Each structure stands twice: as structure tokens, then as C-alpha cells.
């Protein structure tokens, strides 16, 4: 009887640990998906603004170059989350994503001359930063 308890207790502990890990992994995965969706929405907004001549060709080129870098970093981040289910590779990829986002803000958004376009893209950027901060909380 005592032996059975000694088996059941660790199994129950493992069950709770597994639930916790799966739930955490699912939430990180969902945040990673939301991050990608946010960048895609940001890109679509930028393209529309460019088509409306509210963003210059030069600004457009710069922003798309930065978005391409963010996309590459996002793929690396997803791979790190998938392979190691978190630290420390995911932390390095996350730091790279934050760095890319800062570059997008400083070298891209803040350099836009049209104030309305800058405000729109800055608003879209705020949600991206919030999602990345959420991923950081889990990792």
C-alpha cells in the first residue's frame, strides 16, 4: 500500500509539471504567432501608406529592410522556442528581436517625415513591443 502511494505521488507531481510546461509552451507559441501577425499588420499598413504617397520611396525601402530583418529574427525566435522550449537560446533570440524592434523604431519610424504616417506606424509598433514583452515574461 505504502509502495503504491510512493508511485502515485511522483506521477501526480509529473502530471502537474507537464500541465504547467505545456500551458507555458502553448502561451509562448501563441504570443510568437501574435508577434508575427502584428509585424504582418505593421507591414501592410506601411505598404498602404507608401501607396498613398504618405511615405517616401526612401523611407519605404528603409522600413521594408528593417521588417525583413525582424522577420528573420522572428523565425529564429520560433525555432529557439520550438527546439529548447525556452532558455538560453530563446533568450538570445528574444534579445535579438528586441534589438531589431528598437532599430525599426529609431532608424525607421522616427525618421518618417509625414507626422500622420509616423503616428500610425508608431501605434502599430506599440502593440509589437507589448507582445515581445509578453514572450519575455514566459521565457
Of residues 41-60, those binding another protein (CB under 8 A): 43, 47, 60
Q: Supply 38's cell numbers.
A: 502584428
* 36 touches another protein (CB under 8 A): yes
Of residues 64-83, those binding another protein (CB under 8 A): 64-65, 67-68, 70-72, 74-75, 78, 81-82
Shortest distance, CB of residue 99 to another protein, whole angstroms?
A: 17
* 106 touches another protein (CB under 8 A): no
Q: Supply 90's cell numbers.
A: 530563446
| Residue 128 near residue 67 (C-beta atoms within 8 A) | no
- Chain position carrying cell 519575455: 136
* 102 touches another protein (CB under 8 A): no
* 115 touches another protein (CB under 8 A): no
* 137 touches another protein (CB under 8 A): no
User: Which of residues 7 and 137 has its CB atom nearest to another protein in the complex?
Assistant: 7
Per residue, the 3-state secondary structure of 56-109, as one string, reads CHHHHHHHHHHHHHHHHHHHHHHHHHHHHCCCCHHHHHHHHHHHHHHHHHHHHH
Is the Cα torsion angle 137, 69, 61, 52 positive or negative in sign? Answer: negative
State the Cα–Cα distance between residues 88 and 96, nearest whole angstrom. Answer: 13
Chain residues binding another protein by CB under 8 A are 2-3, 6-7, 10-11, 14-15, 18-19, 22-23, 25-30, 32-33, 35-37, 39-40, 43, 47, 60-61, 64-65, 67-68, 70-72, 74-75, 78, 81-82
Amino acid at each position: 500500500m505504502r509502495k503504491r502511494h510512493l508511485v502515485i505521488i511522483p506521477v501526480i507531481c509529473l502530471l502537474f509539471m507537464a500541465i504547467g510546461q505545456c500551458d507555458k509552451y502553448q502561451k509562448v507559441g501563441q504570443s510568437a504567432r501574435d508577434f508575427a501577425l502584428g509585424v504582418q499588420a505593421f507591414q501592410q499598413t506601411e505598404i498602404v501608406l507608401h501607396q498613398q504617397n504618405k511615405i517616401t520611396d526612401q523611407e519605404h525601402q528603409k522600413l521594408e529592410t528593417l521588417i525583413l530583418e525582424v522577420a528573420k529574427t522572428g523565425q529564429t525566435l520560433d525555432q529557439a522556442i520550438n527546439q529548447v522550449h525556452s532558455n538560453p537560446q530563446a533568450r538570445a533570440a528574444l534579445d535579438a528581436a528586441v534589438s531589431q524592434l528598437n532599430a525599426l523604431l529609431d532608424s525607421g519610424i522616427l525618421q518618417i517625415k509625414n507626422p500622420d504616417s509616423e503616428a500610425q506606424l508608431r501605434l502599430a509598433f506599440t502593440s509589437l513591443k507589448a507582445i515581445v514583452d509578453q514572450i519575455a515574461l514566459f521565457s
